[in-house]
Amino acid sequence: MRRVGVLALQGDVREHVGVLERLNVRAERVRRPNQLAGLDGLVIPGGESTTIAYLLTTSGLREPLARALEEGLSTFGTCAGLIMLSTSVSDGRADQWSYGALDVAVRRNGYGRQVASFEAPVAVRGVGDVPGVFIRAPRIEEVGADVDVVATYDHGDGEHPVLVRQGPVWGCSFHPELTPVDRVHQLFLDSMSEALR
């Protein structure tokens, strides 16, 4: 059985664990560096990106996770997780940092603050429409040449990427874990299986 960690410092941990378990994956909560060992993949959940960054540092996970990403660990970041994986973050704090594992520039709260949260269908290449739950979602404003745009969404100002992939690293602006539709997680797991062959 595949082992997929869920970074369990803050955010939608339980929801991601639930999706992974429905998909017959052994989901393991990751709170300490030694819990990264032997994982086939990792999910970095939505939450509050500056809080997650702070807790990664205080837990001792910041550098071990950086090494795991450099070594090619399959990783899926949703909302704040996307921010943590990106190369550039706008509208963050002055001391905000990210891993730079996904060559995208994101804007925090790019679709509006909490009161502007919304749900809309998102057409995902290869799987069709899925519910997109956007809560203080980051907007992907630029993508590098090696980034594959898997889904876009038009919030009234043109199409913007909302689901992207660069090798083993995926990033998602919305919250697929907050719906009963598991197809986005399944895409990630399928790509992980390809990498393990």
- For 45-68, the pLDDT digits (tens) are 998 898 999 999 999 999 999 999
| Tens digit of each residue's pLDDT (9 = 90 or more) over 5-48 | 999 999 999 999 999 999 999 999 999 999 999 999 999 999 88
Asked if the model's pLDDT at residue 197 lies above 90, the reply is no
Q: Helices 183-196 and 13-22 meet at what angle, rounded to 10? A: 70
The residue written with tokens 């799987």 in the block is 127
Catalytic residue, candidates 16, 160, 175, 185: 175
Catalytic residue, candidates 79, 160, 172, 185: 79
Edge to edge, the sheet with strand 128-134 lists 26-30, 3-7, 41-44, 74-78, 169-172, 159-166, 148-154, 118-124, 128-134
Domain 3-196 indexed as CATH 3.40.50.880: yes
Which pLDDT score is estimated for 164? Answer: 98
* Distance (Å, whole) CA 196 – CA 43: 17
Catalytic residue, candidates 15, 16, 160, 177: 177
**Is 172 an annotated catalytic residue?**
no
The residue written with tokens 């090696």 in the block is 146
- 7 phi and psi angles, rounded to 5 deg: -60, 115
| 68 neighbors 169 (Cβ within 8 angstroms) | no
Q: Is the pTM of this model over 0.85?
A: yes
Segment 66-77 shows an average pLDDT of 97
Question: pLDDT > 70: what percent of the chain?
Answer: 98
**Is 177 an annotated catalytic residue?**
yes
User: Which of 156, 123, 153 has the alpha carbon at shortest distance from 138?
Assistant: 153
Residue 7 tokens read as 């970074």
Interacting residues of 80 by C-beta distance below 8 A, sequence separation 6+ = 11, 44, 45, 46, 47, 48, 49, 52, 138
* Distance (Å, whole) CA 103 – CA 141: 11
| 166 neighbors 102 (Cβ within 8 angstroms) | yes
- From its phi and psi, is residue 94 left (phi > 0), alpha (psi between -120 and 50) or beta? alpha
At residue 75, the 3 state secondary structure works out as strand
**Is 175 an annotated catalytic residue?**
yes
Name the DSSP class of 115. Answer: G
